[in-house]
Amino acid sequence: MVEAYILLTSAIGKVREVYDKIEKLEDVENVRIVTGPFDLIVLAEAEDLSTLTNTVVEGIRETDGVLDTNTAIVVE
């Protein structure tokens, strides 16, 4: 298993909408709306790196309202 924390920036006024869409993605384990330089933090867990990459690139980044992502893969 591969885990990653994805830090998201969303469009103004779209945080709740982005949250609702992202929490439904298959490999997403947890989503939190936060304060600070990012709007949401997502914990994703996938079978392998390729699947995780697809979740981030084709799932999260393609979600309407997502402006930017920063992915931190868990190594230990």
Quick one: pLDDT at residue 12?
Answer: 96
Answer whether CATH 3.20.20.70 is correct for domain 2-73.
Answer: no
Domain extents in the chain: 2-73
**Token pair recorded at residue 8:** 């998201």
Quick one: pLDDT at residue 39?
Answer: 98
Dihedral sign, CA of 54, 59, 64, 70?
negative
- Does the pTM of the predicted model rise above 0.85? yes
Per-residue pLDDT of the chain (76 residues; tens, 9 = 90+): 999 999 999 999 999 999 999 999 999 999 999 999 999 999 999 999 999 999 999 999 999 999 999 999 999 9
